[in-house]
């Protein structure tokens, strides 16, 4: 070996070998998996929004909220995550009609949000239902029993007990020409006044009439409905109900028909409402 070769520097070349056919790593797989996961979560959200009511969606939101305690009543069963259904054993998936402070949702009850107000409401419901039963039985007057069965309908609502007194074919509540009430209505008003004397709830009286033909000489429906409500108010007071107990007397003309035919005589009616004490 010559001295020239000894002085020449030794150069070592290293080649970088990329495996896998040059696919540039697997980062794209992670991104794709994240995308698929996000799409699955999105479609599950869309399904939940479509398959649940507003009340149920509120319950689901409350469950995951850290500021609200977890419901003491939960879904039961042996399915995945401890249950076959996201709803409690007292709740079935259905079309809801909403809730009020007087009628709390089951979700509110399971969270303990009703307290003593719920018990007071139940007690008042029992009292009002007893009043409805007494009215349906003719208020203890055998003469009114048959009339009550054919002219009176009661229903319990968030506003209170509504006693609906309505006309029937050939048996109107008031004379169409003079607005003179039927003779038996005085007895009915006296019986109601006696019953209302057993409670302290305020009373409202509403008048309703059937619709008239489109073309009329003069508009009388508002005056007629209001006038009939005032007449019955006077009958209640003459029957012994203190005037201060009556807090509202209104006429609704033909704006709240109860039949498909707005001109049906069934729409001629009075609604006497025994209002709830907390309204």
SS3 248: strand
pLDDT in tens, 122-133: 888 888 988 888
Domain extents in the chain: 27-113, 116-275
pLDDT in tens, 243-269: 999 999 999 999 999 999 999 999 999
* Residue 32 phi, psi dihedral angles, 5° rounding: -65, -40
Residue 68 has what pLDDT?
A: 45
CATH of 116-275, one of 1.10.287.3510, 3.60.21.10, 3.30.1330.60, 1.10.10.10: 3.30.1330.60
The answer to whether 129 touches 156, Cβ cutoff 8 Å, is yes
User: Within a 13 Å sphere around the CA of 190, how many CA atoms are in the beta-carbon half?
Assistant: 11
- Residue of higher predicted confidence among 49 and 108: 49
SS3 97: coil
Choose from 19-28, 55-64, 129-138, 180-189 the range with maximum mean pLDDT: 180-189
pLDDT in tens, 114-159: 555 567 778 888 889 888 888 877 665 666 667 777 888 899 999 9
178 Cβ contact list (under 8 Å, min separation 6):
none
Residue 67 has what pLDDT?
A: 55
Query: How would you classify residue 24: left for phi > 0, otherwise alpha for psi between -120 and 50, otherwise beta?
Result: left
pLDDT at 111 over 90: no
Residue 37 has what pLDDT?
A: 93
pLDDT in tens, 56-69: 777 777 777 655 45
Rounded CA gap, 132 and 110, in Å? 30
């Amino acid at each position: 070996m010559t001295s020239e070769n000894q002085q020449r520097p030794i150069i070592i070349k290293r080649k970088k070998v990329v495996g896998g056919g040059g696919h540039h790593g697997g980062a794209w797989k992670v991104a794709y998996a994240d995308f698929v996961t996000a799409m699955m979560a999105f479609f599950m959200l869309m399904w939940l929004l479509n398959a649940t009511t507003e009340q149920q969606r509120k319950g689901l939101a409350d469950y995951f909220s850290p500021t609200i305690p977890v419901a003491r009543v939960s879904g039961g069963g042996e399915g995945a995550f401890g249950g076959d259904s996201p709803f409690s054993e007292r709740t079935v998936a259905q079309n809801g009609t909403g809730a009020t402070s007087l009628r709390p949702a089951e979700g509110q009850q399971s969270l303990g949000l009703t307290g003593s107000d719920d018990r007071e409401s139940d007690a008042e419901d029992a009292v009002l239902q007893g009043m409805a039963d007494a009215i349906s039985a003719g208020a203890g007057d055998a003469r009114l029993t048959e009339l009550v069965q054919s002219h009176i309908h009661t229903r319990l609502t968030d506003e209170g007990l509504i006693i609906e007194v309505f006309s029937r074919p050939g048996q109107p509540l008031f004379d169409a020409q003079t607005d003179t009430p039927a003779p038996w209505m005085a007895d009915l008003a006296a019986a109601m006044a006696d019953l209302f004397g057993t409670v302290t709830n305020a009373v409202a009286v509403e008048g309703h009439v059937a619709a008239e033909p489109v073309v009329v000489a003069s508009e009388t429906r508002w005056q007629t409905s209001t006038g009939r409500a005032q007449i019955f108010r006077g009958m209640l007071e003459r029957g012994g109900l203190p005037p201060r107990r009556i807090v509202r007397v209104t006429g609704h003309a033909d704006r709240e028909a109860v039949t498909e035919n707005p001109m049906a005589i069934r729409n001629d009616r009075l609604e006497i409402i025994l209002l709830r004490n907390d309204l």
